[in-house]
Amino acid sequence: MATQTSERIQRTGAADEYTGRQRADGLLGNTTPEQLANGLGWFSIGLGLAELLAPRTMARVVGAKERHNGLMRSLGLREIGAGIMILSGARTVGCWSRVAGDLMDLSLLAGTIAAPRTNKGRAIGSTSAVVGVTVLDALTAWQLSQSQSGAYDVRVEKSITINRSPEECYSFWRSFENLPKFMLHLESVRPTGDRRTHWVARGPAGVKVEWDAEITDERPNESISWRSLESADIDNAGTVHFERAPGNRGTIVRVSMYYSPPAAGIGSTLASILGQHPEQEIAKDLQRFKQVLETGEVVKTEGQSAGRSSGATWLDNMARY
């Protein structure tokens, strides 16, 4: 009884953690935290160069005394360092570095506002702008940290517009037995309870990979979220959103997936080099989903039946490494 209670608490905690990431996704809109981090990286480098090369001008902009050239240049170097860190791939550390720098900037601006013979109007305006950037930096850093903490190392996002209503798209996807019709790496998906399913997929060299999953959140005709249960060979989670497209043009289907294969960092890197990135396979799955909903069947590929595609799937990439 105690063991079951412990497992239930662990699953609930993981579901709550994933739900938190979903809420942050909503705050970021359709922009992934990785894309936003890259934008912040370029912004950081641009701001740093301005502070480094034109310290007097930047001092006037923020309302500080122009003689603080040395301080302004040091802030510029810090910004450039954070930007390089983000763009080199260390996004999480780089974004948290920006948050720390933002707090330092706010402290300096508070001193500027209190100091005599400064342009308090500009200093207050600059403070408001830095507060806004700090919130954005902190949200991005938090989301990147969450996506890398605990279970999930890799995030994949893709979307497609389908000429069918959200109700039709949701209904077809919610009947999980339909998933193998367009996710060709899947052999079967079998419901085992009201919110649980058993998945069977083909791994490398025909090896079967199986796991159980549960629905963690569901909004009829809008979204379905799921995650794998304890002891899954491939720990994974995800959400599919169904949004009515503007102008009655059908439905935007957006899939977000998280997973952690063994040595995920190495596996995803090698997959990218080999041109077998999981995003490509998810895009193909969505294209087949569109074909099934709009035409009733998957268009055959050259020299093959409609049932299977050639080449390694994203599941192969996950299980291989």
Lowest-confidence segment of 21-25, 53-57, 171-175, 234-238 by average pLDDT? 21-25
d(CA 138, CA 145): 10
In a domain, 130, yes or no: yes
Residue pair 21/143 in contact by the 8 Å Cβ criterion: yes
> Is there a single domain that holds both residue 234 and residue 167?
yes
Residue 300 scores a pLDDT above 70:
no
> Is there a single domain that holds both residue 160 and residue 263?
yes
- The closest of 208, 207, 213, 173 to 193, measured between CA atoms, is 213
> Is there a single domain that holds both residue 123 and residue 70?
yes
β-pairing, 251-260 vs 186-191, is: unpaired
What is the average pLDDT across 109-122?
Answer: 75
The reported pLDDT for the residue numbered 302 is: 41
In a domain, 166, yes or no: yes
Could you say which of 96, 125, 148 is where a domain stops? 148
Cβ neighbours of residue 272 closer than 8 Å, sequence gap 6 or more: none
Could you say which of 148, 166, 199 is where a domain stops? 148
d(CA 51, CA 72): 6
Strand partners of residue 156: 257
The reported pLDDT for the residue numbered 320 is: 41
Residue pair 189/179 in contact by the 8 Å Cβ criterion: yes
Question: What band does 65 get if pLDDT is binned at 50, 70 and 90?
Answer: low
In a domain, 277, yes or no: yes
> Is there a single domain that holds both residue 130 and residue 251?
no
Residue 310 scores a pLDDT above 50:
no
Range of the domain at 110: 31-148
> Is there a single domain that holds both residue 227 and residue 268?
yes
- The closest of 83, 82, 134 to 106, measured between CA atoms, is 134
In a domain, 17, yes or no: no
> Is there a single domain that holds both residue 254 and residue 217?
yes
The reported pLDDT for the residue numbered 16 is: 46
In a domain, 7, yes or no: no
What is the average pLDDT across 172-180?
Answer: 94
Task: Provide the percentage of residues in the chain whose pLDDT is more than 70.
Answer: 68
> Is there a single domain that holds both residue 304 and residue 224?
yes
Question: What band does 194 get if pLDDT is binned at 50, 70 and 90?
Answer: confident
Could you say which of 92, 126, 148 is where a domain stops? 148
End-to-end CA distance of the chain: 36
In a domain, 165, yes or no: yes
pLDDT in tens, 118-162: 677 777 888 888 888 889 988 888 877 765 444 455 678 889 999
The reported pLDDT for the residue numbered 304 is: 46
In a domain, 70, yes or no: yes
Residue 290 scores a pLDDT above 50:
yes
Mean pLDDT comparison of 72-76, 113-117, 151-155, highest-scoring range: 72-76
Of how many residues is the chain composed?
321
> Is there a single domain that holds both residue 165 and residue 308?
yes
Please compute, for residue 85, the number of CA atoms within 13 A of its CA located in the half-sphere on the CB side: 16
The reported pLDDT for the residue numbered 271 is: 41
Question: What band does 220 get if pLDDT is binned at 50, 70 and 90?
Answer: very high
What is the average pLDDT across 103-111?
Answer: 84
Letter for the amino acid at 224? I
pTM of the model: 0.48
The count of structural domains within the chain is 2
Mean pLDDT comparison of 42-51, 107-116, 274-283, highest-scoring range: 42-51
Mean pLDDT comparison of 108-112, 120-124, 221-225, 226-230, highest-scoring range: 221-225
Question: Mean pLDDT in the chain?
Answer: 75
Long-range Cβ contacts of 225-232 (<8 Å, 24+ apart): 225/18, 225/19, 225/22, 227/14, 227/15, 227/18, 229/11, 229/196, 230/7, 230/10, 230/11
> Is there a single domain that holds both residue 260 and residue 229?
yes
CATH number of the domain residue 243 falls in: 3.30.530.20
> Is there a single domain that holds both residue 78 and residue 206?
no
> Is there a single domain that holds both residue 206 and residue 260?
yes
d(CA 225, CA 218): 6
* DSSP designation for 213: E
CATH number of the domain residue 143 falls in: 1.20.120
Question: What band does 233 get if pLDDT is binned at 50, 70 and 90?
Answer: low
In a domain, 9, yes or no: no
Strands (E), 192-233: 196-202, 208-219, 223-228
Residue pair 62/112 in contact by the 8 Å Cβ criterion: yes
The reported pLDDT for the residue numbered 198 is: 93
Lowest-confidence segment of 16-20, 35-39, 240-244, 281-285 by average pLDDT? 16-20
> Is there a single domain that holds both residue 172 and residue 299?
yes
